[in-house]
Amino acid sequence: MTDLTIVVLLAVSLSALLLWLLIPRIQSSKTTAMQIPSTVNEALAAAKHYGYFPQIRQALSAGDTKYLRETAPRHVAKQALRERRAVALRFLEGLHEDFSNLLTLGRVIAALSPEVSREQETERLILSLKFQMLYVLVWLRLSSGSLPLEQLEHLTGLVGRLATRMNEAITEISARSMGQLSRSVDA
Amino acid sequence: MNHLENFLSWSTLSFEIVVCGFVFVRKVHRILPFFALYTCVILASTVGVWLTYTISGYTSLTSYYAYWGSVLLNAATRSLAIVELCRYGLRAYRGIWALAWYVLTTVSILLLAHAAIDTWGQPDKVAIYGATLDRDLAFASLVILAVLFVFRKYYAIPLETPQRGIAAGICFICAFDVVMSTILRNVYAGYLFDWFLESEKARWPALRAQFLRVNDIWSAFHLFFFMFGMGIWCFALRKPVPMPAESPVLLPAEVYREMSPAINMRLATFNDRMTELLKP
């Protein structure tokens, strides 16, 4: 490639990236850093998908699969397994949403903090990139049927514990920020 | 100058006057003083270069230096306007601003050092120096703006619409400068290089037509796209520019110190579990 081709390609890609970043999202539902006090309630709903964990666990359990295979006609069992896989995929999407909410919370806290650690922010960026990659791989394996559904149990259990801790933390932040707001108003 | 260039020059000048008018009517100079300075420098340098062309002639050496001088002056004030855009609205978020400042300064130093080294290595001719430096500065501006907007998007700190329009105009001008300056530099340093050599004086009459043709084509494209960039600014400033938003209420520093490692730890555990899922 010539010097010219490289420069032109770089300039075009950078401009495309900038355009994408500059175009306002019409129906953007993303949290902005300024909105934290009003979105605490929304943030409390972070990791909401774990709420369906008992049902999902039941639906994905090895016992259920075994029972289906033994008792139901072959085509019915096949269809049921296909539907269970679709449910598992949707649930995985939900977990992705939970992860994103948690990540957004981390970013908003960082944005509203008077001091930020470079190491912590770099680590979070790497973790989110790694998660995106892993999510794609798990999604592909689940879609192709090469991932046993039971393994999702470990993940859902983790999200459940995570959500409980986050709820506590967000309540704490909310209380602190409201306290600071009222102090600012008093002053 | 041919008719097309004349037409484009007058149109560009009109756009520049309109942009300057908008900047002062909308009181943008109070919010973004360096951007206001940039628009004024553009207008002043266009008028200055045009006067030089009229007095000294389009192909004179004075016009040649005046043109390249104005290009570099524009690039310098544009850099100031970009620094201002980086600072705008982000400074209130003290923690993020410290981080952004560190990242942007590192990127800027690297890119400016590259621009200096790249220009230093060029043949000793003003036009080639000018084209290389203009290209590298425009490229640096594009990268810095891209980093800034990635940063803003990542931390959900959006820029107001007029400022976004101003940034879009600068991006457009920079992107086009990168492409056009690269082409011009390659032509000058390539098959038109003899035009700059005293030893090839005998060939100058034969090269003159080609040299002027390259300049004409380049000027026409440059003026056209520059005018388009001005159009983006006019569109961005068509409505009154809102005053900067109030500074956000920051959380106590302990919240970040406690929460951030906890969130990262949880995210890491999450990734570990996802990795486990993939193990056979």
Domain boundaries, chain A: 49-186
User: Is A131 in contact with B267 (Cβ distance < 8 A)?
Assistant: yes
Burial class (CB in 10 A: 0-12, 13-18, 19+), A156: buried
**Residue A167 pLDDT:** 64
The alpha carbon dihedral of A23, A25, A26, A31 has a sign of negative
Average pLDDT over residues B228-249: 84
Q: Which residue carries 């400074």 as its tokens?
A: B91
- pLDDT band per the 50, 70, 90 thresholds, residue B206: confident
Comparing alpha-carbon positions, the chain A residue that sits nearest to B171 is: A15
Residue B94 forms contact with A (CB below 8 Å): yes
At a CB cut-off of 8 Å and minimum separation 6, what does A48 contact? Answer: A94, A98, A163
Q: Which two tokens stand for residue A72?
A: 């139901």
Nearest to A112 among B143, B248, B261 (CB): B248
Residue B109: pLDDT over 50:
yes
Spatial separation of the C-alpha atoms in residues A131 and A128, rounded to whole Å:
5
User: Is B256 in contact with A176 (Cβ distance < 8 A)?
Assistant: no
- Kindly report the backbone phi and psi dihedral angles of residue B240, in degrees, each rounded to the nearest multiple of 5, phi listed first: -60, 140
B interface test, pick of A4, A8, A14 with most B CB neighbours within 10 Å: A14
Helix (H, G, I), strand (E, B) or coil at A46: coil
Would you give per-residue pLDDT tens digits along chain A (187 residues)? 566 666 666 667 766 766 666 665 544 445 555 554 444 445 444 455 555 655 665 666 667 777 877 888 888 888 887 887 787 788 788 778 878 888 888 888 898 889 999 999 999 999 999 999 988 888 887 777 666 665 666 666 665 566 666 666 666 666 665 555 455 445 4
At a CB cut-off of 8 Å and minimum separation 6, what does B81 contact? Answer: B32, B34, B35, B37, B38, B166, B170
So what's the ipTM on this one? 0.73
Q: Which residue carries 């003003």 as its tokens?
A: B126
**Residue A22 pLDDT:** 61
Between residues B259 and B121, the one the model is more confident about: B259
Q: How far is CA A124 from the centre of its chain?
A: 13
Residue B17: pLDDT over 90:
yes
Residue B123: pLDDT over 70:
no
User: Is A21 in contact with B259 (Cβ distance < 8 A)?
Assistant: no
Q: What average pLDDT is seen over chain B?
A: 84
Task: Give the closest-approach CA distance of B33 to chain A in angstroms.
Answer: 22
With contacts defined as CB-CB under 8 Å, which chain B residues touch A166? 266
- pLDDT band per the 50, 70, 90 thresholds, residue B21: very high
**Residue A29 pLDDT:** 46
User: Is B260 in contact with A31 (Cβ distance < 8 A)?
Assistant: no
Chain A, chain B: beta-carbon pairs less than 8 Å apart: 204
With contacts defined as CB-CB under 8 Å, which chain B residues touch A147? 277-278
Q: How far is CA B259 from the centre of its chain?
A: 39
Q: Which of A49-58, B125-134, B231-240 is predicted most confidently?
A: B231-240
With contacts defined as CB-CB under 8 Å, which chain B residues touch A24? 158, 161, 164
DSSP-derived letter for residue B158 is P
User: Is B139 in contact with A121 (Cβ distance < 8 A)?
Assistant: no
Between residues B143 and B219, the one the model is more confident about: B143
Q: Which two tokens stand for residue A172?
A: 């704490």
Residue A109, phi-psi category: left (phi > 0), alpha (psi -120 to 50), beta (remainder)? alpha
C-alpha to C-alpha distances, B90 to B99, B112, B237, nearest whole angstrom: 11, 23, 21
User: Is A128 in contact with B267 (Cβ distance < 8 A)?
Assistant: yes
C-alpha to C-alpha distances, A116 to A74, A138, B90, nearest whole angstrom: 58, 33, 14
Percent of chain B whose pLDDT exceeds 90: 15
- Other CB atoms within 10 Å distance of the CB of residue A24: 9
Percent of chain B whose pLDDT exceeds 70: 95
